[in-house]
Amino acid sequence: MKSTLTRRGFGMAALAGLAAATLPPGRARAAGTPLNFQSIWINDPEFSGYFIALDKGYYTAEGLDVNYIPGGPDVIPQASLLTGKADIALTSLIETASAVSEKGAPFKIVGAQFQKSPDSVISLEATGIKTMKDLAGKTVACSPLSLGTFKVLLGLNGVAEDQVKIVPYAFDPTPLATGQVDAVVDFMTSLPFIVEQTSGKKASYLLFYDYGMPFGQDFVTVTEDTLKNRRKDVVGFLRASRKGWDDDFADPLKYTKEFENSWYKGNGYTPEASEFHSKIQIPLMQNPKGVFTIDDESIEKNIASLEKIGVKANKDLFDTSILAEL
């Protein structure tokens, strides 16, 4: 079975096709100030708001010529920022905070796409896993990338590490669908749907956020130099992107259909998987003050989660002043 549909697993053939072009076929470059935007993953509904902003000319209206650069399993967004390949990037919290605290990287987080990270423990409902405590005595597949955080999560919920059999996760839904494992650690934006379609059985998930590890995902990150010297461009990018996401939230299924043969082409998703992804992510992203909002409470939660896994960070990692200009 192909594993191209999971958020963290992706076939190299599809990646090669996506990485070769930053724009879908037939779309021309716009006029304006060049701005390179590095995504964190392959082209799928997780980034629809940016595709809408590109297609509808929202960036052009802000005087920007945005060059969208897809991500993938071999792409490190932070490196794109440091090498100058990208002016703005979507990054994960742990890697960004670690780069700042351990390497002195000059990063500033100016917005958060996901208020709540999609990181989850996903299982079939028949296994009876309704809380983290129910993982005791179960077999869970987890990738090395998420292993440290998952072990901390177990401890926070009163489950000893030796009570859970943790096995490698190869980003393949088959073991979960066929009952070889009781649960997997992955994003819940696509895998539950895939497992249900494969097994014919109902799947469920537990968000890390709801069980003691509240943190966001897809943080809009820039270097200190970019923030200082291109502040107007960063503001314009966020303002146009927010308009794109507002359009997506109003009618997500409209855009999954529009993008099936353009932005999403070759990513391994079925149309139904795109629809599931598009709808289920909205509550994780919305904020009464608009997409990308980071308030003091959110910052404190993110920093506290980092501390639990041994990553040092403080409020200086974030610069929310730019959000007031949107």
pLDDT tens by residue, 143-193: 998 999 999 999 999 999 999 999 999 888 999 999 999 999 999 999 999
Task: Give the Cα separation of 54 and 240 in Å (integer).
Answer: 9
**HEC sequence for 214-234:** CCCEEEEEEEHHHHHHCHHHH
Query: Does residue 225 carry a pLDDT above 50?
Result: yes
* Residue linked to tokens 């919920």: 157
* Strand, coil or helix: 93: helix
Q: What is the pTM of this model?
A: 0.92
Provide mean pLDDT across the span 274-300.
97
Which is more confidently placed, 3 or 289?
Answer: 289
pLDDT value of position 24? 63
In contact, 107 and 223? CB cutoff 8 Å: yes
Query: Does residue 1 carry a pLDDT above 60?
Result: no
Residues constituting the chain = 326
pLDDT value of position 30? 65
Which is more confidently placed, 19 or 61?
Answer: 61
pLDDT digits (tens, 9 = 90+) for 72-102: 988 999 999 999 999 999 999 999 999 999 9
Tokens standing for residue 218: 């897809």
Query: Does residue 69 carry a pLDDT above 80?
Result: yes
